[in-house]
Amino acid sequence: MAPASFDWWKRESHRGTPVVVKMENPNWSMVELESPSEEDFLISDSPSRSRDNNKSRNKNAKQLTWVLLLKAHKAAGCLTSIASTFLSLGSVVRRRVASGRTDSETRMENENKAVKSRFYSCIKLFLWLSVVLLVFEVSAYFKGWHFGTPKLQLEYIFTSPIAIKGIFDLMYSGWVLIRVDYLAPPLQFLANACIILFFIQSMDRLILCLGCFWIRFKKIKPVPKHDDTPDLESGDKGYFPMVLVQIPMCNEKEVYQQSIGAVCELDWPKSKLLIQVLDDSDDPTTQTLIKEEVHKWQQEGANIVYRHRIIRDGYKAGNLKSAMNCSYVKDYEFVAIFDADFQPTPDFLKRTVPHFKDNEQLGLVQARWSFVNKDENLLTRLQNINLSFHFEVEQQVNSVFLNFFGFNGTAGVWRIKALEDSGGWLERTTVEDMDIAVRAHLQGWKFIFLNDVECQCEVPESYEAYRKQQHRWHSGPMQLFRLCLPDIIKSKISVWKKFNLIFLFFLLRKLILPFYSFTLFCIILPMTMFVPEAELPTWVVCYIPATMSFLNILPAPKSFPFIVPYLLFENTMSVTKFNAMISGLFQLGSAYEWVVTKKSGRSSEGDLVSLVAKEPKTTHQKGSSVPNFSEVKMEMKQQEQKASRKKKKHNRIYMKELTLAFLLLTASARSLLSAQGIHFYFLLFQGISFLLVGLDLIGEQVD
């Protein structure tokens, strides 16, 4: 009797496989699906138990059917949302492309048209050649010329009787023999040379990352010497020498208020601080606005002066050089430089200047940049990855192990004596910051980079502004290399430092990197699809680039979802960097272009709140530069609305990038015939990346 009651209790306790379903409009989702019990799988001779098991199985089958239907309904909902997303994306692309302008319609006056057209003509030639070859290869494929791998089976060419061959077979046989005898050997040699350069550069990147890991593991950090001497004016204890602060700017009305306001809030004795606003603007309205802003802060008690040059010679270097020639500069020991979009924190000088105390060989203290608009769009996120690696890895490692790195041009404090010993600011290149850093290094001065001291700024939000900035940053170092090479060789620094300057600092990171990136992935790789006898290994195309991208993204861990776009975008930017490198190396016209990077004037609400928090309790004068938070937001909104009514935004259509996009997509189609999976996917996605950049769909539109 006991076993029967026990079976009855088991049958009551297990009533099939319950499913709890909730409705999430418009889709359904399954919350719980209980797994079958052991009883469902027992085989028994008892008729009653068999009937119970059959009923249980029927219930399970019905419930499973419902679950599958619910999942199908959910999948259909997902497909519908994906389709609507693609439709909206397509409409945005169509709208932005319709308002686009080509390079020729917006070409700069000082741009070297001959050089640009020659470079563009070479890319177009490769494109048309690839299209003709693709048609030829597809025709051969349908006639039975199947090549599964780059290693060709040429028995058909030599064993098939000539009489059997048609004209097309003869032509294709001749093309294959030309490839094997004349095209493949030089192409393979060039590919191998680029692979060696690629490997060397990857090892350099890996060593830098290991150096950064070592710094973190050992917690190596520059520590300033403390000074307990109290300042007579402020009463604070510390090291308070005379500091000059310079803010060079040129037609940057979007950001001048932020930088001037932040610098005037620096926590430093006023009698030992002088602020120079170095205005090179040629717009009378902008000049008037900056003058008024300086006057407001003078009324607030800030020690600030306004300087304007009528003749704008030498761009930023000429502006800084002119300011350093003022008679009162001799009273100051250090100079801090901030570009117009930089907003230092009030304790910036207290965290940087003390490093100079009792360290007479120290010439520069450089702070790290942080970005208020790093999450604005995909372009700003990718720039944040690059610059985070530059500061946390490159600058920090070179500072700790070599006491030398390239000055970033802003957010740094110089010892004025180091500037004078190095020859001061020179206008001979578009990278005056790197120029003065190299010359100071040759004079024996040491540099310190502070990774924990940040200064807020902006990154370009439009591809047009970013492209011009990168052109200047990559053409200038090649100009400087040509000018500095004799001085480096003749200098009295050690052989190791000369090697570091010539090979690592200039050749490897400024010349070889853009050269092999463009040549290997944009020229050689597509050519190997049409000349398959020359091949690139899979590890060159996929594994090493992926590993390097992973290392680059480590300093910005929140950007890991963008690792694939980052890899593709870096290869896409190689065309601009390669063009700039060639212009600077051979002193072509575009190497001397200086275009002020367009600023948006974005400031986070946290920055505005901090300004209000620092507002004095006393009532401000009319027109005070620290307005009420709500008034600031209202004024910014009105300015944006006014600007949107006056200016119409448009896209630029970049013909070089578009031509390379179609070249890579054509090569990816050819790779399908050889069944090269990795190469096909790389070329396909890289071609799409060039297409998006060529249509200016990656950043903000330009005015």
Adjacency order of strands within the sheet including 446-457: 304-308, 273-279, 243-249, 334-337, 412-415, 362-371, 446-457
Q: Would you state the pLDDT for residue 366? A: 98
Q: Would you state the pLDDT for residue 69? A: 75
Question: Is a pLDDT exceeding 70 seen at residue 258?
Answer: yes
Please compute the mean of the pLDDT values over residues 95-110 and round it to a whole number. Answer: 54
pLDDT in tens, 408-454: 999 999 999 999 999 999 999 989 999 999 999 999 999 999 999 99
State the pTM of this model: 0.79
Cβ neighbors of 210 (< 8 A, separation 6 or more) are none
Q: For residue 603, give the nearest of 248, 286, 254, 287 by alpha carbon.
A: 254
pLDDT in tens, 31-57: 444 444 445 444 445 555 555 555 555
The tokens describing 14, both together, are 């297990």
Dist CA 110 CA 411 (whole Å): 30
Amino acid 251 reads N
Rg (CA), the chain: 33
Query: Known catalytic residue: 282?
Result: no
Q: What percent of the chain has pLDDT over 70?
A: 73
Amino acid 73 reads H
Query: Known catalytic residue: 40?
Result: no
Q: Would you state the pLDDT for residue 16? A: 47
Q: For residue 64, give the nearest of 34, 24, 27, 43 by alpha carbon.
A: 34
CB 232 within 8 A of CB 323: no
- The rounded mean pLDDT for the chain is 81
Dist CA 320 CA 340 (whole Å): 13
5: pLDDT confidence band, cut at 50, 70 and 90?
very low
Residue burial 184-212, b: 16+ Cβ < 10 Å; e: rest: beebbebbeebbebbeebeebbeebbebb
Q: Would you state the pLDDT for residue 133? A: 86
Q: Would you state the pLDDT for residue 31? A: 42
Question: Is a pLDDT exceeding 80 seen at residue 151?
Answer: no
pLDDT in tens, 287-301: 999 999 999 999 999
Cis status, amide bond into 346, omega within 30 of 0 = no
Max mean pLDDT among 138-142, 175-179, 512-516, 636-640 falls in 512-516
| Number of Cβ atoms within 10 Å of the Cβ of 106 | 12
| Number of Cβ atoms within 10 Å of the Cβ of 37 | 14
Please compute the mean of the pLDDT values over residues 658-670 and round it to a whole number. Answer: 92
Question: Is a pLDDT exceeding 90 seen at residue 687?
Answer: yes
**Cα dist. 367→209, 337, 410, 411, 535 in Å?**
20, 11, 9, 6, 45
546: pLDDT confidence band, cut at 50, 70 and 90?
very high
Q: Would you state the pLDDT for residue 120? A: 77
Q: DSSP for 427-474?
A: -SSS-HHHHHHHHHHHTT-EEEEEEEEEEEE----SHHHHHHHHHHHH
Q: Would you state the pLDDT for residue 632? A: 47
Cβ neighbors of 123 (< 8 A, separation 6 or more) are 656, 659, 660, 663
- Of 280, 339, 435, 696, the active-site residue reads 280
- Of 52, 169, 433, 696, the active-site residue reads 433
Q: What percent of the chain has pLDDT over 90?
A: 55
pLDDT in tens, 482-498: 999 999 999 999 999 99
When mean pLDDT is compared across 90-99, 298-307, 552-561, the lowest value belongs to 90-99
pLDDT in tens, 80-101: 766 676 676 666 666 656 665 6
Coil, helix or strand at residue 702? strand
Q: Is 58 exposed, middle or buried (0-12, 13-18, 19+ CB in 10 A)?
A: exposed
